[in-house]
Amino acid sequence: MLTRQLMACLVSGSVLLCTACSPGEPAESAATTQPITPATTTSLGPSAVAEKEALTAYRGMWDAFVEAAKVSDPDASDVRRFASGQALRLIVNALYTNREQKEVILGELVLDPKVTNLAPAGNPVNVTVLDCVNDEKWLEHKASGGLANDEPGGKHRTTATVERTAEGWRVSSFILDKAGTC
């Protein structure tokens, strides 16, 4: 459902037009809901604030992952500051596995996240982020030095859900697809 909507957004050529879609709504009603517009006044509206904070959490999660992955630390506290639920499970599992395999991830990860949905429109607590995560220069290395293998990285279509919790915004889940999907 969500995926189809995202696809519809992409096909329509404008992600912005669909930013106010909620997952349960048919795409046709998008035009009747409030689109996200850049703030024209100095004070940001609830949607603009949510968008900004959700993207901060999303980037924070990847920054924390990148940092923890340098030493394969599954107990890194920053990862827990920005990720919860399935997102946290995936990352902690990956870090733990890397530690067991005596591997680390080094290099630079390139993100390009965009908010595609905020729900509910008036006071968003659930934000959908679409990204094209590029790990062409963020590669698995042996902990002892050198690349783990000669496979290249790639660009991964990623959809994430960022939720407002009592402790702040957290990425609660994400699906990162295989290389070459964006």
Partner 1 sequence: MLTGLRQCVVLAALAVAGLLAVPATVYADGGTGGVQCSQDDPRPACDVNAGIPGQPGQPGGGDGGGQGGDGKCRNPGGEEIPCVRDGAYAGADGCYYTPADPSPSTVAALGGQPAGEGGWYMRTCYGPPASFGGVVWIAGAAPVVSPAVLARQARARLNLPTIVIRMNPPGNQLVNLPVWLALDRDSWRSVSATASVPGVSVTATARPVQASWSMGDGVVVACTGPGTTWTSGTDPAKASPDCGHVYRRSSAGALRGSYEVTVTVTWEVSWAGAGQSGTVPGLTTTGQLQTRVQESQAVVR
Q: Which amino acid is at 83?
A: A
22-to-107, 122, 147 alpha-carbon distances in Å: 36, 12, 42
Q: Smaller CB distance to partner 1: residue 19 or 158?
A: 158
- The reply to whether 94 sits near partner 1 by the rule CB under 8 A is yes
Closest C-alpha to 103, from 55, 138, 63, 144: 144
3-state DSSP assignment of residue 86: helix
The interface with partner 1 within residues 121-140 (CB under 8 A) comprises 133, 135-136, 138-140
In the complex, minimum distance from the CB of residue 9 to partner 1, in angstroms, rounded to a whole number: 16
CA distance 52 to 41: 15
- The reply to whether 95 sits near partner 1 by the rule CB under 8 A is yes
- The reply to whether 17 sits near partner 1 by the rule CB under 8 A is no
110-to-26, 117, 138 alpha-carbon distances in Å: 32, 22, 8
| Residue 20 · residue 32 · CB < 8 Å | no
Q: Smaller CB distance to partner 1: residue 47 or 161?
A: 161
The interface with partner 1 within residues 51-70 (CB under 8 A) comprises 65-66, 69
Q: List interacting residues with partner 1 (CB under 8 A).
A: 3, 65-66, 69, 74-75, 79-80, 85-86, 88-98, 100-101, 103, 105-107, 109, 133, 135-136, 138-140, 148-149, 151-154, 156, 161, 172-179
